[in-house]
Amino acid sequence: MNIAFYISRKGGRVEKFLKKNIELRKKVKVIISDGEDNLHLKDFFEELDIKYIYINFESLSLDKKERNERLSDVMLKILKENKIDYCITFGKHILKGKLLKDYENRLINIHAALLPSYRGRKPIDQAVSDNAFIVGSTAHFIDEGTDTGPIILNVVQNMEGFYEGGYDKILDSQLLLLEKLFLLLEENRITLKDKKVKIIGANYNYYMTFPKID
């Protein structure tokens, strides 16, 4: 199984994931970046034998729609050339066009909210503004909408973690999400019917209280 990541910003969660998971990182073949904020990670990725491809849009006079379309076309070419099975995205641009068709149900976004709540930009800030009690992150397949694709799994925590540890407290929980996701993909346990995900062998009746009370 060959995995690619698409990142836009600092790439901190991807860096932490690769440092922590020695076996799982062997499946990661390509990092696609469209942001200068993670250029400092190029040597780190390449030391792990992971190809780092930086797409510089800053020098091009493109509007938002053109950028999304151009990025999607370039990404499709890269994914096919490197025989990528799944691409996991942390990127800021909305993917479009033939990429969505050719990689249907193989593009997975990691979103810092419990979808379908708080779609779009700055989801943690949206949750804080609403004084949300429960927060977390979602892994979901990408479709033509914005954060509307079928949900695969969530990681959940109480908002108190944000007040104690800031954004990293919420975002670092995505490491667990990635670990579970890699294993589910490797074991081929993710099924999709009528735009709804069902994980083979998963317990969908699991629940707990927040806060945890002994």
Per-residue confidence (pLDDT) for residue 41, from 0 to 100: 96
Read off the amino acid at residue 126: Q
pLDDT per residue over 153-179, tens digit each? 999 999 998 999 999 999 999 999 999
Q: Which domains does the chain have, with CATH numbers?
A: 1-103 (3.40.50.170), 106-214 (3.40.50.170)
Q: Cα(first)–Cα(last) distance of the chain, in Å?
A: 41
Question: Which among 118, 107, 165, 114 has a CA at the least distance from the CA of 137?
Answer: 114
Distance, in Å, from the CA atom of 154 to the CA atom of 60, rounded to the nearest integer, reads 37
For the cut 80, the answer to whether the pLDDT of residue 59 exceeds it is no
For the cut 80, the answer to whether the pLDDT of residue 205 exceeds it is yes
Residue 56's pLDDT band, with cuts at 50, 70 and 90, is confident
Residue 139's pLDDT band, with cuts at 50, 70 and 90, is very high
Residue 208's pLDDT band, with cuts at 50, 70 and 90, is confident
Residue 64's pLDDT band, with cuts at 50, 70 and 90, is confident
Tally the C-alpha atoms within 13 A of residue 179's C-alpha that lie toward its C-beta. Answer: 14
pLDDT per residue over 103-112, tens digit each? 999 999 999 9
11 sits in the region (left: phi over 0; alpha: psi -120 to 50; else beta) called left
Question: Which among 72, 64, 10 has a CA at the least distance from the CA of 35?
Answer: 10
Q: Which residues contact residue 11 at a Cβ distance below 8 angstroms, ignoring those fewer than 6 apart?
A: 31, 33, 37, 38, 41, 90
When pLDDT is averaged across residues 69-80 and rounded to a whole number, the result is: 95
For the cut 80, the answer to whether the pLDDT of residue 68 exceeds it is yes
Q: Picking from 79-83, 162-166, 187-191, 207-211, which range would have the lowest pLDDT averaged per residue?
A: 207-211
Per-residue confidence (pLDDT) for residue 57, from 0 to 100: 76
72: number of Cβ within 10 Å: 20
For the cut 80, the answer to whether the pLDDT of residue 60 exceeds it is no
Residue 133's pLDDT band, with cuts at 50, 70 and 90, is very high
Residue 61's pLDDT band, with cuts at 50, 70 and 90, is confident
Per-residue confidence (pLDDT) for residue 121, from 0 to 100: 92
The pTM for the full model equals 0.95
In three-state form (DSSP H/G/I as H, E/B as E, the rest C), the secondary structure along the chain is: CCEEEEECCCCHHHHHHHHHCCCHHHHEEEEEECCHHHHHHHHHHHHCCCEEEECCCCCCCCCHHHHHHHHHHHHHHHHHHCCCCEEEEECCCCCCCHHHHHCCCCEEEEECCCCCCCCCCCHHHHHHHCCCCEEEEEEEECCCCCCCCCEEEEEEEECHHHHHHCHHHHHCCHHHHHHHHHHHHHCCCEEEECCEEEECCCCCCCCCCCCCCC
Per-residue confidence (pLDDT) for residue 79, from 0 to 100: 98
